[in-house]
Structure 1
Amino acid sequence: MKLAVQEHLLPGRSLQEKFVFAQEAGFDAIELRGRGDFHFAGRLTELKRALADGVVMPTVCVDMPHFIGDFDPARRTDAIQQLRSQLTVIAELGGLGVVTPASWGQFSRHLPPFEPPRGPAEDRAVLGEALAVLGEHAQRNGVLIMLEPLNRYENHLVNTLAEAVAYCSMESVKVAGDTYHMNIEEDDPCRSLAEAAPYLAHMQVSESNRNQPGSGHLDWAAQLATLDAIGYDGYLALECRLRGEPEIVLPQTAAFIRKFL
């Protein structure tokens, strides 16, 4: 397993400067962020220059105001178009693929008004249709679209690894786990990782409190041992808030995680 860190957590004015810091801190790669309005495609020159300079950028995590499970058809279509573009770009960089949730902040069945304006069957149809389009595009480009389950308060569509696996009907559609969301949703995180193993392509890591690993109560030894046991050899991408200055916290975090690898 290798360590990555999301680009916005790193000090530095350029990806090259950020990568130098990341390596010195103990990380192997940078996870990019994909904003809307085709902003990510607009960075292609910058990204290709960074790639030529040796910056390792295997994945991009979507960072948009709406997602493929949106209730509004126009916003849903836009999200699909944005992700198609991001898949094309990450393929040009020789990366693994794009990480996206079904939605974020759109609705929760655990907060008022409790009942969404769309039923479960339509939810599944909408999300399945979007992932079919994205899966085909990903397959043509030799990359993956990776569905990330979020916790029940941030997303009502896909909350667990098993629910995400149910949408993996194509080789190019896989699952991205996130230890923070798993802490809320999975009865047994280790068992869930083992059961999702054939579909697990990426992992994002943060603590029970959404801060950096080592600042909460997650059983890192158990979860990382499980990933090792199932043969997971992908990235552990740091996606969290930092409690402290990055110059101090990031090297400490990398050292903390590596104790269990």
Structure 2
Amino acid sequence: MRTAVTLSQVPEAAAGPFVFHEPLADGFALAKSAGFDDVELFFPGPDAFSVEEIKALCETHGMGVAAVGTGAGMVKHGLSLTDPSPEKRAAALDFITRMIDFGGALGAPAILGSMQGKWGGDVSREQALKWLAEALRSAGKTAAKHGVPFIYEPLNRYETNLITRLQDGAEWIEAESLENIVLLADLFHMNIEEVNLAEALRSAGKHVGHVHFADSNRRAFGFGHTDPTPIIAALREINYTGSISAEIFPLPDAKTAAAQTIKSIKSLL
């Protein structure tokens, strides 16, 4: 398992759960000095930085890119895959496809979180899930061209009303025969929705492809009340070899949050 930390370059997400918001070169340097293996990138879009620029920063600091987020499509552009408007759904899929291509050029998968949207009003849950499945089929195929999976993230009930639990996500992937799609196990969301975090990881098993390592209050582990020991044990049991990424609030400040995360992970691994 490799460690990663979030670097955000989206002003609209300044209050979000991302550790470093500094200019990108500074963010890479801070991530490296904190002891992380890789970075997870949250950009306004696929054209915010060139692939060559990211590769150069990775080479300079001896780091990789664990994943790229697509959430700016929602927070900055107001797009979702389950919007009632077919034009907006098409724009959302186009944004995600371009983010997949950007990440794929770096050997990194893209993540679908907030852009999955919600059902309600004139859109039934069945219709929303149908649209979502269609989009994930396309995303999975695009990601496969780059030799990476596409990551789908169940969110808590306050952020989506589609799929909120890992097991439900795993069963849905199988029922829809979705290929090259893995689940993101975000421990903050899981703290809200799951009865037992370790058992939820075991139940989703082979479908878990990325982990967001956050305590109960979405701060660094050790600053909340979640016990990480059974979580790490469960990840080992399912032979998880992916990233453990800190998508957390930079509290009490970014450097302290980063240092606490690395301290916690090293004590466990």
Instruction: Tell me the residue number matched to 2:94.
Output: 81
**1:257: Cα distance to partner?**
2.3
Which letter maps to 1:49? A
Deviates more, 1:241-250 or 1:47-56: 47-56
In the alignment, structure 2 segments of 5+ residues that lack a partner are 9-18
**In 2, Cα distance between equivalents of 1:73 and 1:49:** 38
**In 2, Cα distance between equivalents of 1:141 and 1:84:** 12
**1:259: Cα distance to partner?**
1.0
Within-5 A mapping of 1:177-216: 177-216=185-224
Q: Is 1:149 aligned with 2:146?
A: no
Among 71, 74, 91, which residue is 2:84 paired with?
71
Within-5 A mapping of 1:7-86: 7-8=7-8, 9-10=19-20, 12-15=22-25, 17-35=26-44, 39-44=45-50, 45-53=52-60, 54-63=62-71, 64-65=73-74, 66-86=79-99
The DSSP-based 3-state class of the residue aligned with 1:190 is: helix
Which letter maps to 2:187? T
Tell me the matched-pair count: 249
Instruction: Report if aligned partners of 2:219, 2:257 keep a CA contact under 8 Å in 1.
Output: no
- Per-residue CA deviations over 1:66-114 (Å, capped at 9, x if unaligned) read 222333322221111111111111111122x01112646x558xxxxxx
Q: Is 1:120 aligned with 2:125?
A: yes
Within-5 A mapping of 1:97-112: 97-101=109-113, 103=115, 107=118
Instruction: Report if aligned partners of 1:102, 1:157 keep a CA contact under 8 Å in 2.
Output: no
The DSSP-based 3-state class of the residue aligned with 1:175 is: strand
Deviates more, 1:235-244 or 1:3-12: 3-12
The DSSP-based 3-state class of the residue aligned with 1:167 is: helix
Q: Is 1:167 aligned with 2:179?
A: no
Instruction: Report if aligned partners of 1:243, 1:249 keep a CA contact under 8 Å in 2.
Output: yes
* Alignment root-mean-square deviation, CA: 2.0
The DSSP-based 3-state class of the residue aligned with 1:41 is: coil
**In 2, Cα distance between equivalents of 1:41 and 1:57:** 16
Instruction: Tell me the residue number matched to 1:111.
Output: none
Instruction: Tell me the residue number matched to 2:6.
Output: 6
**1:56: Cα distance to partner?**
1.2
**In 2, Cα distance between equivalents of 1:229 and 1:71:** 41
Instruction: Report if aligned partners of 1:67, 1:101 keep a CA contact under 8 Å in 2.
Output: no
**1:116: Cα distance to partner?**
4.1
Which letter maps to 1:41? D
Give the alignment's TM-score, normalised by structure 2: 0.85
**1:28: Cα distance to partner?**
0.9
Cα pair distance change 1:251/1:32, threshold 3 Å = same
Instruction: Report if aligned partners of 2:202, 2:238 keep a CA contact under 8 Å in 1.
Output: yes
**1:12: Cα distance to partner?**
4.7
Among 210, 226, 231, which residue is 2:239 paired with?
231
The DSSP-based 3-state class of the residue aligned with 2:46 is: helix
Instruction: Tell me the residue number matched to 1:176.
Output: 184
Instruction: Report if aligned partners of 1:107, 1:116 keep a CA contact under 8 Å in 2.
Output: no
The DSSP-based 3-state class of the residue aligned with 1:213 is: coil
- Per-residue CA deviations over 1:34-90 (Å, capped at 9, x if unaligned) read 43xxx3234124223323433311211122222223333222211111111111111
**1:176: Cα distance to partner?**
0.8
Give the alignment's TM-score, normalised by structure 1: 0.87
Among 205, 217, 227, which residue is 2:225 paired with?
217
Cα pair distance change 1:164/1:70, threshold 3 Å = farther
**In 2, Cα distance between equivalents of 1:5 and 1:234:** 13
In the alignment, structure 1 segments of 5+ residues that lack a partner are 109-114
